[in-house]
Structure 1
């Protein structure tokens, strides 16, 4: 049973109308009329149902869909990365060729995801991103439009969800390098739209609803396949193999239902990646530094129908290895 609080203005109006009714000797409102006034309007659900929908829209990894159910989701995101890079060449203890380069990258991603309920506690999904990327650097500038990396995944809920207990979900994802590899791009031929390597991710997600707030958190681990048989000119050397380092990620946040139609979310995500191993044609091997990417996300959800909630989000990078800005829109459609 859901209890609703009478707004202060409504309470004042009710007291005023009651006083007027007593002074004018009119018939007071009946109990049935009071119940009708406080009853939920058509299409409204309880807070728990709304928060579950909010979790689904904010991050589809937290909740599942029923057996035989089908859901199509469209995500639109824009990200911007801007940096100033100092280029130097140190020889014999002296810095030469000092220069400052401005590098800017704009990426628009259209992602189509399809989810299918294999069982009530098992959901399979496939994800297809379409990318448009524009880069402007000192060396080159150009734009590319192509598909990104195709993804397949599954979410499994080992224990039955209960109202007073946290919900636990195990996730697994496989990403295929179907986009344009950054290790095979020739100068002047466009920008990369994929990672260039395959990846396998295993994760654990937890959520708990404490009306009117839903708390959620996640842990994940990603391993990558190497990019082999390369022949990319990199400065004065030729790159032949890349082995990306493993990545550990975590996230946490909360969703708050302001009303039956509006919800807000605040979350933080961080990914820590080990250095990548590089091999060149002349036998030289090198390793890059560890990278840390952290993003603070602010979201707003608007419920346009009992089955559809449009979500808008803004992400702000809080570490040097993060995008400066990420703006997104999420539109889930259930069938």
Structure 2
């Protein structure tokens, strides 16, 4: 297998919030479960494209070529949750629970050039989680949500002009669903619903700086035929709703072998509608996830560039901290 060399470096940190296990109200628990999972198409997927030499017609891999990439990511979520009971009209229960969750994801991605300007891809994530809260302390190891995608570049890359790439992705609910696991015995490793997304990514090289930005839309299908106990009710169906995201940033080449990057990304997801067996419904709040990403790329060889990224959560719906590593695989 021949691996196309990486030229330049664009950093964007994977948005991989770990679940805080069920506690408090039904809607709060469902909101945690509906946070973005491994395999979601967000700004990371759209911005994570390698820049190539300007004398090439297209920046995607050539027709008939194969490129494999290994990605490692770590995320941490820590929070204090207030548990209060006012159902009787008076405060009968008040406590502060400290929750923490760690997630490690190892992903193998393979790209195949269908044409010089059309690339297909598949990603296989393996997810490991550790959660510590009053409901459950323990580990979970499982396959995450498999992703199938495509990238299309309609115009040839020309010197001094922006490069535009259209992207699409289908995420399959192959991981452990948050709507089917027992919160007191296990942790989810997937989203539990299929998701389709589409977006556009724009890169513009102003040597030695590469500017980039993206916009994407995602829609998730319903999770049906459920029978999960949430508080005093039984959850039977979840409608996650659509989301929109954008990102922008720049990468700067310090030398031939070292580059740095700074980017921000934000995703806004509509609140999910929850359906219960007793005929009642509920809706979670709209989620806004924002990240500040810092990265560095080190060219180990002409065919191998090691990319390291660190992210800081800017909103309550974001991971507190993320760390990522990405590098091409050679065979």
Among candidates 278, 281, 286, match of residue 282 of structure 1: 278
2:158 is aligned with 1:203: no
Q: Aligned with 1:160: secondary structure?
A: coil
Instruction: Map 1:17-28; keep pairs closer than 5 Å.
Output: none
Residue of structure 1 in register with 2:66 after alignment:
70
Question: Which one scores higher on RCO, CA 8 angstroms, separation ≥ 6?
Answer: 2
Asked if the contact 1:150/1:175 (under 8 Å) is kept, the reply is yes
Asked if the contact 2:11/2:307 (under 8 Å) is kept, the reply is no
Residue of structure 2 in register with 1:54 after alignment:
9
Query: Which deviations, in whole Å up to 9, do the C-alpha atoms of 1:197-247 show, x marking residues without a partner?
Result: 000010100010001000000000000010000000000000000010211
Among candidates 258, 268, 271, match of residue 267 of structure 2: 271
Asked if the contact 2:11/2:295 (under 8 Å) is kept, the reply is no
Instruction: Map 1:159-178; keep pairs closer than 5 Å.
Output: 159-178=155-174
- Normalising by the residue count of structure 1, what TM-score does the alignment of the two structures yield? 0.82
Whole-Å separation in 2 of the counterparts to 1:92 and 1:60: 52
Superposition RMSD in Å: 1.7
Q: How far did residue 274 of structure 1 move?
A: 0.5
Asked if the contact 1:310/1:329 (under 8 Å) is kept, the reply is yes
Among candidates 175, 178, 194, match of residue 182 of structure 1: 178
Query: Which deviations, in whole Å up to 9, do the C-alpha atoms of 1:272-291 show, x marking residues without a partner?
Result: 00000000010010100001
Residue of structure 2 in register with 1:213 after alignment:
209
Asked if the contact 1:61/1:155 (under 8 Å) is kept, the reply is no
Q: How far did residue 126 of structure 1 move?
A: 0.1
Residue of structure 2 in register with 1:294 after alignment:
290
Among candidates 116, 120, 141, match of residue 120 of structure 1: 116
Whole-Å separation in 1 of the counterparts to 2:315 and 2:111: 33
Whole-Å separation in 1 of the counterparts to 2:91 and 2:163: 56
Among candidates 214, 227, 233, match of residue 229 of structure 2: 233
**Tell me, which stretches of 5 or more residues in structure 2 are unaligned?**
13-43, 51-58
**Tell me, which stretches of 5 or more residues in structure 1 are unaligned?**
1-48
Whole-Å separation in 1 of the counterparts to 2:154 and 2:222: 33
Q: How far did residue 190 of structure 1 move?
A: 1.4
Residue of structure 2 in register with 1:37 after alignment:
none
Whole-Å separation in 1 of the counterparts to 2:68 and 2:233: 46
Whole-Å separation in 1 of the counterparts to 2:92 and 2:322: 36
Q: Aligned with 2:241: secondary structure?
A: coil
2:122 is aligned with 1:137: no
Among candidates 307, 314, 323, match of residue 303 of structure 2: 307
Instruction: Map 1:29-44; keep pairs closer than 5 Å.
Output: none
Instruction: Map 1:72-91; keep pairs closer than 5 Å.
Output: 72-91=68-87
Q: Aligned with 1:209: secondary structure?
A: strand
Whole-Å separation in 1 of the counterparts to 2:276 and 2:49: 39
Asked if the contact 2:142/2:175 (under 8 Å) is kept, the reply is yes
Whole-Å separation in 1 of the counterparts to 2:79 and 2:183: 20
Q: Aligned with 1:106: secondary structure?
A: strand
Residue of structure 1 in register with 2:28 after alignment:
none
Whole-Å separation in 2 of the counterparts to 1:61 and 1:271: 19
Q: How far did residue 95 of structure 1 move?
A: 3.1
Asked if the contact 1:106/1:134 (under 8 Å) is kept, the reply is yes
Whole-Å separation in 1 of the counterparts to 2:208 and 2:293: 20
Q: Which moved more, 1:61-70 or 1:81-90?
A: 61-70
Using a 3 Å threshold, how does the CA distance of structure 1 residues 56 and 105 change in structure 2: closer, same or farther? closer
Asked if the contact 2:11/2:261 (under 8 Å) is kept, the reply is no
Residue of structure 1 in register with 2:38 after alignment:
none
Residue of structure 1 in register with 2:151 after alignment:
155
Q: How far did residue 56 of structure 1 move?
A: 9.1
Asked if the contact 2:168/2:197 (under 8 Å) is kept, the reply is yes
